[in-house]
Structure 1
Amino acid sequence: MKKQEFTSYEDFAANYKLEVPENFNFSFDVLDKLAEDPGRLAMVHLGPDGERREYTFGYFKEQSCRLANALESRGMKKGDRVMLILYRRVEFWTAMLALHRIGAVPIPSPSLLTEKDIRERVNYANITGIICEDSIVERVEAARKDCPGLRTLVQVDGQGAPEGWERWDAVLTDGYMDYPRPENAPGGDDPLLIFFSSGTTGMPKMVLHNHTYPFSHYTTAAYWHDLEPGDVHLTLSDTGWGKCVWGKFYGQWMAGAVIFVWDFRGKFVPSELLQIIADNKLTTFCAPPTVYRFLVREDLKGYNLSHLRHCTTAGELLNDSVFHAWREATGLPIYEGYGQTETTLQVATFKFMEPKPSSIGRPVPGWEIALLGDDGQPVPRGEEGEICIKMHTEHGNNGVHGLFDSYMDEPEKTAGVKVNGYYHTGDKVWEDEEGYFWFMGRTDDLIKSSGYRIGPFEVESALVSHDAVVEAAVTGVPDPVRGQAVKATIVLGPTYEPSEDLIKELQNHVKTITAPYKYPRVIEFVDELPKTISGKIKRAEIRTEDSKKYSA
């Protein structure tokens, strides 16, 4: 695709339109076209062994065709649901592409799933196949006796395999290296993939996207990541959640970029990441705010980051102190973006816009967004409202490219968020005079104290700007006078110790940065915050524990 150039947000909003080809299928319409130049570089992979390997589009076409043919010969068919539990290894991309050819529905899943998680998800989603790491096989085997629907089991890596399993390499050798597009090829409105939502409360929902979903990520890559042909892009995300396909798959290849994959298996080490960016001359980079918070605590001047030209973040909100620290050290602003597992990029700051630290930006063309109040009516600028997306049809993704079709097999839950012609995101923002959105939090996260409505992010941002604080989660706790009091749960830096003096210092620090009534009247220090597998803070879990402690 040829990238257009825009001079302003207004130019972008007026003239950019994404037209998805009829019966679009990423494997046939993008990968196979790119593989017409079989030697063209697709991926640079840095493995856990420290080896740097390069892979071409010709490689991915051949390998995905072989796997698709082999899986079909074993009875896999269009509509089958297949759980993938793979690290950031090349086989993940091969498996996804192969399943897209067949029309089977991959369910990317994190490696931290327990035996119980696997059993529940397999039965809940009617999963018939699993392709997973050898280190995960034992957990699958323990769950398997209670999962009668499982038919196809493939082990990646390792020595040997339990009875009923096949090894990846053996499966591939059975597959023919060509897979012509059949007349009834999957595409368009057919199911493409399922993500289990983060599950901050209750059982995760199955978020179903159709085959138009990858195409909508072109906007993510070409305009938010600002990718040009030949760029080498790293999005730091695990293959088990949606941000992987946002940042290291569909859109990046459509924009002509090379995907850089760092397959680290242990603890994230900020200095290692910085050295990798420098050594591999990465040009564009995307990571959650937590990663940037750790990076700015390093001596950034000690690394050659001169090839890096564009940086983005999403997943949580970026604290303005981190934004300024990164810009001062690298000369680069960080462009924020917003979306959900249920969508692609909805709101963002682009290179032709002036980034405002802590603002998620302005609506992406193609998403007709309204900020609605509790009465379902649009709110005035400056007032908080829920991000709601106008829908245009009564089926599938409702005529909005990138919007999920449904919560698979759960029509009641789908109907609960698709109401009166709008998809309700559950996220609250307010809009400033220039049209920028400012995130306040999930609907349930807002704190009501003495008549004020307080968004947790503003208080968290103020706390993290203090040198002592690495991470903070702000919630409301029961208070007999105020209704709720603001409470901060804080992870301190390694050189700081909890104390009453530090509590007072942090409270006064917040008062100097934001409105004094927002300061945390309760502060608790912890070693780590509860998070989902995808890295989002589980504020609901904190609230549950607090309700027990503070209601007693």
Structure 2
Amino acid sequence: MPNMVDYEKTYREFRHQVPEYFNFARDTFDVWAQDPNKLAMLWVDDFGNERRFTFKQFSELSKQTANFFNSLGVKQGDRILVILPRLPEWWVIYLAAIRAGIIFIPGTTQLTSKDIKYRVETAETVMVITDEDNAAKVEEIKGELPVLKHLVIVGKREGWLSLNEEIAKFSPEYEAANTKSDDPAIIFFTSGTTGYPKMAVHTHASYPIGHYITGKYWLDLTPDDLHWNMSDTGWAKAAWSSFFGPWICGAAIFVHHSVGKFDAKKTLELLAKYPITTFCGPPTAYRVFVLEDLKKYKFPHLRHCVAAGEPLNPEVIKVWKEATGLTIRDGYGQTETCVLVANFPCFEVKPGSMGKPAPGYYVSIIDDEGNELPPGKEGNIAIKVKPERPVGLFKEYWKNPDKTAEVFRGDWYLTGDRAIKDEDGYFWFVGRADDVILAAGYRIGPFEVESALVEHPAVAEAAVVASPDEIRGEIVKAFVVLAPGYSPSEELVKELQEHVKKVTAPYKYPREIEFIDALPKTVSGKIRRVELREREWAKKLGKKK
């Protein structure tokens, strides 16, 4: 039986309790650590190595690490940038930073030297912790960053402090900083589908406590679960489903550290081999899974699957269900929030729908003047922030009051996404506000067209954008990555166009289709439609849109 059995009742009655002071490491994690044998992590790599960590081990390692940070003069309120792959040290550092009141900034290993410089300068970061594969990027720009005082490495390198050697010198006793609920704890650089990344600040209580909903109700976790979230450590999704969500519920996390590119077969083999009970993958991974022969795999322990990052196409949900018996339950949220809308385990999924609002949030569809819209009308996805600000919502874009003011309008926080709510209260994603196509007076959301394309066996992935047109203003253009065994041709273009006309309203079909090897994506795996759109407008008109 799922943790949530009656959605309407839970949504109506649920209230978060937020104390005046809260420190996740002390007040949640260390409570689970009282059981010395309780598993917190099962870690594996590509070479057959396995490591197990208990809550108690992580608690002690994080206390040693907090002592090490303080010995360098890194103190409460200071910022540290952590660029690490899925190594256990990433979790130790995260816990240690929270414990010490140091502001943790995760960064993906795909960051360039320029990206790192931007983050260190804008966040005034005093320390960078990374691995040997990424250290050279930091060394390249270190001389231009007087604010950056300390270089720490997982491994060994000249001119760097070795994290594991250093923390071994310190005591596993540490009194956690008595952090106020509203003190900043984490800064996420938004994935930047448009423009430069912004610094979204989350606080010590609101964000971890907000993820109680993520862990308990959407991921449906219990203390007996082993949860695998595929997210890169640099993305906020790692905080959702590899850190706060599972550990609030006392669940153990499964971590696969891989040095190569994403390997669908390897991932499915691990899912079959280990006693993983719950799984969270990005839509891009599921889209590749369903191209495999899923009948070859058995997942005897798996009971619950979710996806997040961008909407999952109905066809993918259907194929996965036929092969595994499990429904992928989409969840929607942002770097700035916890889970906002989701398909919770206690109600029926309408394939392609985002689901219903998460307990603790009043989510609605509003027009540009802030008025709530009736079912069936497309509008802006917004969260009510007055009279009471919801738990889990970010505090502000740090050092950027103009951007903060842009997204808070009247009683609402605007997500920048557009959707429709149906008569049953389910939300249906249309697209980023900037992604909606205006063709001959019609408004066309890219997601519906992409979903139709992905239903065709020739299509592995698709991205749909506006392309300028003299007569219609804009037309629908699709960029398509073909599935193995298919080749580009004029015949296939026509076939895909006819297919879309049958699956969705005929006026939505892509009047142009371009076949490409790979879609441009953010470091967190979201399709960068903006890049495709700007390329298209520059090519045709010599200007950006």
TM-score by structure 1 length? 0.96
Deviation at 1:215, TM superposition (A): 1.4
Deviation at 1:549, TM superposition (A): 1.7
Quote the residue 1:416 is aligned against.
Answer: 406
Write the deviation string for residues 206-261 of structure 1: whole angstroms up to 9, x where unpaired.
01000121111111111111112211110110101100011111120111211011
Q: How does 1:228-267 map to 2 (within 5 A)?
A: 228-267=222-261
Q: How does 1:39-58 map to 2 (within 5 A)?
A: 39-58=37-56
Supply the AA of the counterpart residue of 1:450: A
Write the deviation string for residues 283-306 of structure 1: whole angstroms up to 9, x where unpaired.
110111111111111121211212
- Work out which of the residue numbers 140, 148, 158 in structure 2 matches 1:162: 158
What is the alpha-carbon distance in structure 1 between the residues aligned to residue 135 and residue 232 of structure 2? 19
- Work out which of the residue numbers 176, 179, 184 in structure 2 matches 1:181: 176
Asked whether the equivalents of residues 248 and 259 of structure 1 are also in contact (C-alpha less than 8 Å), the reply is yes
What is the alpha-carbon distance in structure 2 between the residues aligned to residue 276 and residue 515 of structure 1? 41
Supply the AA of the counterpart residue of 2:110: L
Supply the AA of the counterpart residue of 2:49: E
Instruction: Name whichever of 3-12 and 282-291 sits farther off.
Output: 3-12
Q: How does 1:257-406 map to 2 (within 5 A)?
A: 257-392=251-386, 399-406=389-396
Deviation at 1:116, TM superposition (A): 1.3
Write the deviation string for residues 442-469 of structure 1: whole angstroms up to 9, x where unpaired.
0000001111100000000000111111
- Work out which of the residue numbers 521, 534, 540 in structure 1 matches 2:530: 540
Write the deviation string for residues 428-450 of structure 1: whole angstroms up to 9, x where unpaired.
01011101000000000000111
Unmatched segments (≥5 aa) in structure 2: none
What is the alpha-carbon distance in structure 2 between the residues aligned to residue 6 and residue 155 of structure 1? 43
Quote the residue 1:74 is aligned against.
Answer: 72
Asked whether the equivalents of residues 223 and 350 of structure 1 are also in contact (C-alpha less than 8 Å), the reply is yes
Quote the residue 2:540 is aligned against.
Answer: 550
Supply the AA of the counterpart residue of 1:376: G
Quote the residue 1:94 is aligned against.
Answer: 92
Asked whether the equivalents of residues 47 and 89 of structure 1 are also in contact (C-alpha less than 8 Å), the reply is no
Quote the residue 2:203 is aligned against.
Answer: 210
Identity %: 48
SS at match of 1:140: helix
**2:428 pairs with 1:434:** no
What is the alpha-carbon distance in structure 2 between the residues aligned to residue 270 and residue 136 of structure 1? 25
Deviation at 1:495, TM superposition (A): 1.1
Supply the AA of the counterpart residue of 2:521: K
Asked whether the equivalents of residues 478 and 484 of structure 1 are also in contact (C-alpha less than 8 Å), the reply is yes
Deviation at 1:273, TM superposition (A): 0.7
Quote the residue 2:166 is aligned against.
Answer: 171
Supply the AA of the counterpart residue of 1:116: K
Asked whether the equivalents of residues 471 and 491 of structure 1 are also in contact (C-alpha less than 8 Å), the reply is yes
What is the alpha-carbon distance in structure 2 between the residues aligned to residue 5 and residue 299 of structure 1? 32
Write the deviation string for residues 357-392 of structure 1: whole angstroms up to 9, x where unpaired.
110001111111221112321111100010111113
SS at match of 1:360: coil
SS at match of 1:248: helix
Q: How does 1:82-231 map to 2 (within 5 A)?
A: 82-157=80-155, 159=156, 161-163=157-159, 165-182=160-177, 185-212=178-205, 213-231=207-225
Asked whether the equivalents of residues 115 and 140 of structure 1 are also in contact (C-alpha less than 8 Å), the reply is yes
What is the alpha-carbon distance in structure 2 between the residues aligned to residue 434 and residue 531 of structure 1? 33
SS at match of 2:372: coil
Deviation at 1:20, TM superposition (A): 2.6
Supply the AA of the counterpart residue of 1:404: F
SS at match of 2:354: strand
Instruction: Name whichever of 118-127 and 433-442 sits farther off.
Output: 118-127
What is the alpha-carbon distance in structure 1 between the residues aligned to residue 468 and residue 190 of structure 2? 29
What is the alpha-carbon distance in structure 2 between the residues aligned to residue 431 and residue 522 of structure 1? 30
> Against the structure 1 CA distance between its residues 438 and 4, is the aligned structure 2 distance closer, same or farther, given a 3 Å change threshold?
closer
Instruction: Name whichever of 44-53 and 64-73 sits farther off.
Output: 44-53
Deviation at 1:141, TM superposition (A): 0.6
Deviation at 1:171, TM superposition (A): 1.5
Deviation at 1:497, TM superposition (A): 1.0
> In angstroms, what is the RMSD of aligned CA positions?
1.3
Supply the AA of the counterpart residue of 1:460: E
Supply the AA of the counterpart residue of 1:434: D
Supply the AA of the counterpart residue of 1:203: Y
- Work out which of the residue numbers 503, 506, 517 in structure 2 matches 1:516: 506
SS at match of 1:471: strand
Supply the AA of the counterpart residue of 1:379: L
SS at match of 1:189: coil
Asked whether the equivalents of residues 4 and 345 of structure 2 are also in contact (C-alpha less than 8 Å), the reply is no
SS at match of 2:253: strand
What is the alpha-carbon distance in structure 2 between the residues aligned to residue 259 and residue 309 of structure 1? 15
Deviation at 1:4, TM superposition (A): 8.9
Asked whether the equivalents of residues 70 and 176 of structure 1 are also in contact (C-alpha less than 8 Å), the reply is no
Unmatched segments (≥5 aa) in structure 1: none
What is the alpha-carbon distance in structure 1 between the residues aligned to residue 86 and residue 46 of structure 2? 10
Supply the AA of the counterpart residue of 1:82: I
Supply the AA of the counterpart residue of 1:511: K
Q: How many residues align?
A: 541
Asked whether the equivalents of residues 217 and 345 of structure 1 are also in contact (C-alpha less than 8 Å), the reply is yes
Write the deviation string for residues 152-181 of structure 1: whole angstroms up to 9, x where unpaired.
211112x4x232x21112220222111123
What is the alpha-carbon distance in structure 2 between the residues aligned to residue 125 and residue 111 of structure 1? 18
Supply the AA of the counterpart residue of 2:158: P
SS at match of 1:371: strand
Deviation at 1:494, TM superposition (A): 2.3
